Structure 1
């Protein structure tokens, strides 16, 4: 990893902003900084960022709103930084499209590890994920849907492409590749590369809820992604390869 990656640090506290910039630059990343949401919007309009370190407590705009707006426009990596420690704040952050959530004060080396972990997932679509099997072996079809693991695309039965975040796509991939089998939350956390989340968090539940809203006819009565209460989730449709 190095200067191919461009990170935006959006943090209103000057000392913390400078510390984060220095920390990321010491790892070889290109870094831009902003202390106000307005500055960040201007930078995003003129530069392509791979990852945003986003403070939730900004003076001119709510960080959760910024996360939702950024996620609606792109699949940029988002790591939220906040002093809020309630589980509900983490869940809301995930609902808004964040990839990870770090509470202050944090250990610098842990933050670096989280950044690198997310950027490795970012690099998967960039590299194209060359298929090792025969032509079409990376394509999965189910109930009129088509999922291309190499292109990281999901097409609904009407032929429309469904926009998924990296975590959503990786979670769906794990479920589809194990269709008919229940996967535990720990197995699904491993599949999306979220080894840093706490064992009691609701990461998987939130991601499943997001997938259901995008894929199910009735998200409140799902027919595709089924819950195994107390254990995990199962992908119900039959899946064809190629």
Structure 2
């Protein structure tokens, strides 16, 4: 069965090119031009992934993402003609899995879509009878467990709902507990495919991770801030 993509894009030339490429690659694509239409399409039949243009006539993709995130962890990719970092950071903080600035290659967007869907599929299929995935148990009394093959992390036995970059950031810290990573090091490890992202994005994602750890019953202080140095995963909490 073809995977379903919801595309919110109001520029006909861009939409037509993306539609042609995605459909040619075997995806089933629902194209809408307005934020209200995107939410209606999502509620009528949940897609496997959404591609949301940030600027549309009746609102923006950020608002659509907020509405979707109230009920779903649907993979989301943002498209935008704006290059300001604040837009990139806001998109990632809202839980986007990727962010593409215009102009872009439709084939690149398609490749990113496939990579995201493959990552989500791996996370959902783990434990379905396949060979056990390699895992990393946190040392000491830390309540975290990293499953690298499925690209997921559990806390006290419950899977954490993490975006792509949240997962990569926490995994990097978990694999080397107590090691202090500078922001530059974390940018290189986690945001290697987003070179235009500034290092304060690390701070934003640490804040989000701390909130999710707290919600999962773990201490937010598992991730320690080292002034003028960076971050580490502590063993002392």
Residue 194 (structure 2) pairs with residue 197 (structure 1): yes
Per-residue deviation, residues 141-166 of structure 1 (Å, max 9, x unmatched) = 7757354636946346xx98753334
> By how many angstroms is 1:98 displaced?
1.2
Whether the 8 Å CA contact 1:141–1:147 is kept in 2: the answer is: no
Residue 109 (structure 2) pairs with residue 111 (structure 1): yes
Tell me how many residue pairs correspond in the alignment: 228
CA distance in 1 between partners of 2:171 and 2:155 (Å): 14
**Closer/same/farther in 2, CA of residues 125 and 189 from structure 1, 3 Å limit:** farther
Whether the 8 Å CA contact 2:49–2:117 is kept in 1: the answer is: yes
With the length of structure 1 as denominator, give the TM-score of the two structures: 0.77
Give the structure 2 partner of residue 154 of structure 1: 154
Moved more, 93-102 or 43-52: 43-52
> By how many angstroms is 1:82 displaced?
0.9
**Closer/same/farther in 2, CA of residues 160 and 122 from structure 1, 3 Å limit:** closer
What is the SS of the residue equivalent to 1:85?
coil
> By how many angstroms is 1:86 displaced?
0.7
Deviation >6 Å, runs of 4+ = none
**Closer/same/farther in 2, CA of residues 35 and 145 from structure 1, 3 Å limit:** same
What is the SS of the residue equivalent to 1:195?
coil
Give the structure 2 partner of residue 8 of structure 1: 6
Residue 71 (structure 2) pairs with residue 70 (structure 1): no
Q: Note the residue ranges of structure 2 that are not aligned, 5 or more in a row.
A: none
Question: CA RMSD for the aligned pairs?
Answer: 3.3
What is the SS of the residue equivalent to 2:77?
strand
Residue 82 (structure 2) pairs with residue 81 (structure 1): no
Q: Note the residue ranges of structure 1 that are not aligned, 5 or more in a row.
A: none
> By how many angstroms is 1:81 displaced?
0.7
Per-residue deviation, residues 155-191 of structure 1 (Å, max 9, x unmatched) = 46xx987533343234323322221223455664576
